[in-house]
Amino acid sequence: MTIKLTDTMSVTSQIDTTFRCKLGPADIKSHLRLGQVLVLLTLGVLLPRTVQGATNSIQWGVNVHYAVIPKEVVNNQLANKLLERNLSCVRLDVWGDDTNSLAQFRGIASAMKAKSIKVEAILFTPFARGQVREHDTNASLQEVESTAYEQTKRQVERTLDLVQDYELQNEVSFYPNIKNEGATGQNDNDFDNPVGRLQAAALRGMSRAVDDVRKQANQPLRIILGTTDRCFGLLSFMQQQGVLFDVVGYHIYPWDKHPPLDQDPWFGPGGPLTQLAKFNKPVLINELNCGEIYSGTPGQAGLNYENQAGKPQTELGLRSLDKHLKEIVNQKAVNVEAVLFYELCDEPKNAEPENRFGLFYDAQLQKPKISLFLATSFTGGKLSAAEQAELSKRGIGLTAKSRP
C-alpha cells in the first residue's frame, strides 16, 4: 500500500498529485509489497531503445502482499504463475525484528529464489510511517541513526542469502509534514524541516547498515531510495544528508489524459523520466498501474472505476496503462532497469481503491484480468490465443510479432 499526502498540502495540490501517483491508507505494515531488479546493462548501453530492445533490457515484476496469498498457493503455484508471465522479480516487505513476519518473508523469498525469481526487500524501522517513533522529532538524531542502523543490520543479516536489493522504507515522500507547506517537492530544501531531518537520520543509519553488511559479507547488495510524483528534491536532500543509495525507486500511477512520461511538464522539463536521470543511477519503477483506478474515490471526479472488463473506466484504464508502458519501453531519457506492476491480486477486504489494483481478481490466482494479459504482452510471457484476442480487439499491448 501507499501513503496519503500530508495534511499541509493544498486541496488543489493533493488532487493534482493523485492524478500522477498512487495514494492509499496509512497502515504500512498491513500492506506487503514486492519486487526487485537486475538489468542487461550491455543491451541498455549498446542497443537502440526500440520497443523490442527496451523490452529486452527491462526486467518485469510485480508487488505481492504475501499475507493475503494462501500458503498452498505460495508453496505450489505462485512462482510458476509468475514465470509463465515472465514476471521475474518481486517486491516484499521484511520486518526482521518480528519473528513471525520474518518467517513468512523467508518462506516466500525462498520459494522465489528456488525458481530464480529475484526479491527486492523493503526495510522498515520504528521511525517509518505508522510506527511508534514516526513523530519523534525531538529525539537525538545521533540516537535515531544508531537505532535505525542496528535494526536494519539485523534485518539484512537475516535475509541476505535471499535478497540482493534493499529499499529504505516506503514512500517516505508521503510521510506527514515531511514536505514544507506549499512546496512542490522538486527542490531539496522542500524537505529541510524537523520531519525531514528525522527521516534523514533514520535512512542514513539504514543505508550505512546495508553498506557495512555488504562489505563484511562481500555480497553485491544494493540500496534503493524511492520517491513519488515530483518529489525529486527528496533524493537530493537525502544525498546531502549522507544517505547512501545505488538505485532510485519510483512509483507512478498516470492517467490516460496525462502527457507522456518523458514530456509531462508538471514534473519538470522532460517529465519524470528526465528528472530521474539527473541522479545518474539506474531506476526501478517499482510501483506502476493506471491512475483511472482512483476514479470515483474521494477527491477524484468522474465515474467510479468498475474493475470489470468492458466497462468505461476500466477500459480507459487499460488504454492508459498501455499508453504509458509504451512510453517507458521507448524512452531514451533514463536507464529503467525494471518495471513492477502494483499489485498481484485484488484485496476485497480493503476500501476503494486499495481493493482493486490486482492483475488477478483472486488470491488463488485463478481469475486473471485483462491487465494481466496486457502486462504479459510487454514481458514476453505466455499468452493464449484467447488472451491475445482480448488485447487485439482493444488495440492494446505488444503483438506476438513485435515482442522480442
pLDDT at res. 383: 96
C-alpha separations of 136 from 5, 10, 143, 196 in Å = 19, 25, 11, 12
Tens of pLDDT along 161-213? Answer: 999 999 999 999 999 999 999 999 999 999 999 999 999 999 999 999 999 99
Q: Is the pLDDT score of 273 beyond 70? A: yes
Rounded Cα distance, 341 and 269, in Å: 26
User: How many helical (H) and strand (E) elements, i.e. helices and strands, does the chain have?
Assistant: 13, 8
CA of residue 40 relative to chain centroid, distance = 20
What is the three-state SS of 37-99? Answer: CCCCHHHHHHCCCCHHHHHHHCEEEEECCHHHCCHHHHHHCHHHHHHHCCCCEEEEEECCCCH
Mean pLDDT value of segment 72-87: 96
pLDDT band at 83 (very low <50, low <70, confident <90, very high): very high
Q: Is the pLDDT score of 4 beyond 50? A: no
**If you average pLDDT over every residue of the chain, what do you get?**
88
Mean pLDDT value of segment 107-121: 96
Q: Is the pLDDT score of 28 beyond 80? A: no
pLDDT at res. 335: 97
Tens of pLDDT along 145-155? Answer: 999 999 999 99
**Domain 11-394 belongs to what topology?**
TIM Barrel (3.20.20)
Backbone angles phi, psi at 121, to 5 degrees: -105, 135
Backbone angles phi, psi at 155, to 5 degrees: -60, -45
Q: Do 125 and 152 touch, CB atoms closer than 8 A?
A: yes
Give the closest residue to 319 by CA, choosing from 404, 230, 273, 258: 258
Tens of pLDDT along 209-220? Answer: 999 999 999 999
Mean pLDDT value of segment 267-295: 98
Q: Is the pLDDT score of 133 beyond 50? A: yes
pLDDT at res. 271: 98
Q: Is the pLDDT score of 37 beyond 50? A: no
pLDDT at res. 299: 86
Least confident piece of the model among 35-39, 236-240, 388-392: 35-39
Q: Do 186 and 231 touch, CB atoms closer than 8 A?
A: yes
pLDDT at res. 44: 33
CA of residue 136 relative to chain centroid, distance = 27
pLDDT at res. 20: 52
Across 169-213, the runs of DSSP E, i.e. the strands, are: none
Mean pLDDT value of segment 347-376: 97
Mean pLDDT value of segment 14-43: 37
pLDDT band at 401 (very low <50, low <70, confident <90, very high): low
Tens of pLDDT along 84-97? Answer: 999 999 999 998 78
Residue whose cell numbers read 526501478: 284
Tens of pLDDT along 303-337? Answer: 999 999 999 999 999 999 999 999 999 999 999 99
Q: Which residues are 164's β-sheet partners?
A: none
